[in-house]
């Protein structure tokens, strides 16, 4: 039986951004945090490296800002970058107050160990060994479970946002969301005074990714269908070093391995980064990923190798215990042997357009974390700026919600989800086939290196898939697989459309037809057609 629920704030997503927002809201606000799977199933949990912040007296805010601008190929918004970097230390202090167990410099030291990653000119990455995301996520989940005003709701999938326009009411405001309860199979209506999208990115649109299975661009697709603009969807970051092994699924080899001296090698043991960038292994991720892609294609090899064995076993066990153990499970002793690695889709730099408070084009609707486009990342994300963005914008969104609180009388007028005209599907094979086809042609045609011809082919294919998926969606009861596939197809079309508009190579978007950067850096902004939300 369908149900209706009322909350002050509805947060869709249980990662670093969503949980931080929930914890920074006042205790008198009733908050629901929606998670598609278990609370620890998202990408935040997998983050290894750490959080970028100026914590060393020898470092400076201006240096961090400049590194972010350079890594973003001069496309980042200077105002957003400064806002994020200047608020970084405050966010780290908040995490310390939550008792996140960051690695200390020495056992008897009151300072924290800082590491350096690609694109950074200083050591400024605070971390919890090589499992920062796990440490942060566990801490925030524990705090949220202790909070009387926060309901953590698992195995619930957001289907679509509820807005005044969709409900036939005046104004342009988000007043809730339709949520699929995976246990009952019914779609329930959740009413809220404010709704926040913290659903992460869309890297599952690619065949090979370091992300969790839930990274299907749900928040971006829902916001687009509700009438929000999106920006810079063509900039998909491919992490240079994902473990290459037939039995390993989406296991990342942290940027910090290169930061601590790891060397990239060909199969014959020859280094190659000196041919691509003077910064060698510490060049920004787009450069390193393209270099690896180039060498693999040139030689016909399945992977390259990352060697940290020269640092010794004791050092490796201290700094990379998780990576060491996981590789050992696959028969690779990284204290003696190099690690086979390949690039994999890792981070979505574009997203739903927001301001510094996380507010979207629709009143009452916020987007934070990887779902959002704040202008911080430009054409390429600087390592470890992603978790930082989650915490900074969660705080600013919480403050804005409270300062602009508007009780919404319209929530009582929300219609229940109508499934009277649909039936159960007996053709789920169509879903799995379309899922595989989508991810494969995105990898082949809209990957690390692009061309006009490849993008045109991808556009034809995604148009056909969107038609099939929408027909399926209209006639059958929704399932989590159908919801994710529908969202992935929408996001794929946004990525392709954005890539076709950019007539240059910049940052993460590299095309053989336009190999040089334009003189003026501009964002790619897409506006949804009216029929999507009317």
Architecture of the domain spanning 236-346: Alpha-Beta Complex (3.90)
- In this prediction, residue 425 carries a pLDDT of 62
What is the CATH T-level fold of the domain 4-234+349-413, as seen in this structure? FAD/NAD(P)-binding domain (3.50.50)
Kind of pairing, strands 125-126 and 372-373?
Answer: unpaired
Closest CA to 383 of 132, 39, 15: 132
Burial label, 530 (beta-carbon count in 10 A; 0-12, 13-18, 19+) = exposed
- In this prediction, residue 427 carries a pLDDT of 65
CA separation for the pair 424, 187 (Å, rounded) = 14
The 8-class DSSP code of residue 338 comes to: P
- In this prediction, residue 73 carries a pLDDT of 94
The answer to whether the Cα torsion of 226, 231, 233, 238 is positive or negative is: negative
CB of 413 within 8 A of CB of 189? no
Per-residue pLDDT of the chain (534 residues; tens, 9 = 90+): 678 999 999 999 999 999 999 999 999 999 999 999 888 877 787 777 799 999 999 999 999 999 999 999 999 999 999 999 999 999 999 999 999 999 988 655 568 999 988 789 999 999 998 789 899 999 999 999 999 999 999 999 999 999 987 777 777 899 999 999 999 989 999 999 999 999 999 999 998 888 888 899 999 999 999 999 999 999 999 988 999 988 877 788 988 899 899 999 999 999 999 999 999 998 877 889 889 988 988 998 989 999 999 999 999 999 999 999 999 999 999 999 999 999 999 999 999 999 999 999 999 999 999 999 999 999 999 989 999 999 999 999 999 999 999 876 655 667 777 775 666 666 667 777 888 899 989 988 999 999 999 999 999 999 999 998 988 888 888 899 999 999 999 999 999 999 999 999 999 999 999 999 999 999 999 999 987 766
| Known catalytic residue at 461 | no
Structure tokens at 488: 């992935």
* DSSP states of 221-287: HHHHHHT--EE-TT-EEEEEEEE--TT--S-B--HHHHHTT-EEE-TTS-B-GGGT-TTGGGS-HHH
CA separation for the pair 527, 513 (Å, rounded) = 26
Hunting for tokens 């309901």 — which residue is that?
Answer: 151
- Give the sheet arrangement for strand 125-126, strand by strand: 51-52, 125-126, 114-115
- Number of Cβ within a 10 Å radius of residue 30: 17
The three-class DSSP label of residue 120 is coil
- In this prediction, residue 165 carries a pLDDT of 79
Hunting for tokens 């092994």 — which residue is that?
Answer: 245
Structure tokens at 36: 């598609």
Question: Phi and psi for 448 in degrees, rounded to 5?
Answer: -65, -40
Structure tokens at 314: 């004791």
Helices (H), 158-312: 218-226, 255-259, 285-299
| For the chain, domain boundaries | 4-234+349-413, 236-346
Counting every residue written for the chain, the total comes to 534
Residue 410 CA, chain-centre distance (Å), reads 32
Closest CA to 481 of 249, 182, 198: 182
Q: Whole-model pTM? A: 0.90
- Number of Cβ within a 10 Å radius of residue 274: 10
CA distances from 403 to 374, 382, 522 (A): 20, 32, 33
- In this prediction, residue 267 carries a pLDDT of 96
- In this prediction, residue 422 carries a pLDDT of 63
285, 290, 326, 461: the active-site residue: 285
């Amino acid at each position: 039986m369908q149900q209706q629920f009322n909350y002050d704030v509805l947060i869709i997503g249980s990662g670093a951004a969503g949980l931080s927002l929930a914890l920074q809201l006042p205790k008198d606000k009733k908050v629901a945090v929606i998670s598609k799977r278990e609370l620890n199933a998202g990408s935040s949990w997998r983050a290894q490296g750490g959080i970028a912040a100026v914590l060393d007296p020898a470092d400076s805010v201006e240096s961090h800002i400049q590194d972010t601008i350079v890594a973003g190929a001069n496309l980042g918004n200077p105002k957003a970058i400064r806002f994020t970097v200047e608020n970084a230390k405050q966010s780290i202090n908040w995490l310390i107050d939550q008792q996140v167990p960051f690695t200390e410099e020495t056992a008897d030291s009151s300072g924290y160990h800082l590491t350096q990653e690609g694109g950074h000119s200083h050591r400024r990455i605070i971390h919890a060994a090589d499992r920062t995301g796990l440490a942060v996520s566990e801490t925030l989940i524990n705090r949220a479970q202790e909070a009387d005003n926060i309901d953590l709701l698992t195995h619930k999938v957001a289907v679509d946002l509820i807005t005044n326009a969709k409900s036939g009411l005046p104004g342009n405001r988000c007043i809730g969301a339709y949520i699929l309860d995976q246990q009952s199979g019914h779609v329930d209506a959740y009413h809220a005074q404010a709704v926040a999208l913290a659903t992460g990115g869309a890297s599952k649109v690619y065949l090979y990714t370091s992300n969790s299975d839930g990274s299907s661009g749900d928040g971006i697709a829902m916001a687009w269908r509700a009438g929000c603009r999106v920006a810079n969807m063509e900039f998909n970051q491919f992490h240079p070093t994902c473990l290459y092994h037939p039995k390993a699924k989406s296991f990342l080899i942290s940027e910090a391995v290169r930061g601590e001296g790891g060397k990239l090698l060909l199969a014959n043991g020859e280094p190659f980064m000196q041919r691509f960038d003077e910064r060698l292994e510490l060049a920004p991720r787009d450069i390193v990923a393209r270099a690896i892609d180039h060498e693999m294609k040139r030689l016909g090899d399945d992977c390259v190798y990352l060697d940290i064995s020269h640092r010794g076993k004791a050092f490796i066990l201290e700094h990379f215990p998780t990576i060491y153990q996981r590789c050992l499970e696959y028969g690779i002793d990284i204290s003696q042997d190099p690690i086979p690695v390949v690039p994999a889709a890792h981070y979505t730099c574009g997203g739903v357009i927001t301001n510094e408070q996380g507010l979207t084009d629709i009143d009452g609707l916020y987007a934070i974390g990887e779902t959002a486009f704040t202008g911080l990342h430009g054409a390429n994300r600087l390592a470890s700026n992603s978790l930082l963005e989650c915490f900074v914008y969660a705080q600013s969104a919480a403050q804005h919600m409270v300062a602009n609180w508007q009780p919404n009388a319209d929530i009582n007028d929300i219609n229940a989800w109508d499934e009277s005209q649909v039936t159960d599907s007996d053709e789920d094979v169509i879903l799995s086939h379309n899922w595989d086809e989508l991810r494969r042609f995105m990898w082949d045609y809209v990957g690390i290196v692009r061309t006009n011809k490849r993008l045109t082919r991808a556009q034809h294919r995604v148009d056909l898939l969107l038609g099939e998926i929408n027909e399926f969606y209209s006639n059958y009861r929704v399932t989590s697989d159908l919801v994710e596939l529908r969202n992935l197809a929408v996001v794929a079309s946004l990525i392709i459309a954005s890539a076709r508009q950019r007539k240059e190579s910049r940052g993460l978007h590299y095309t053989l037809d336009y190999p040089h950067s334009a003189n003026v850096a501009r964002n790619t902004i897409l506006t949804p057609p009216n029929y999507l939300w009317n």
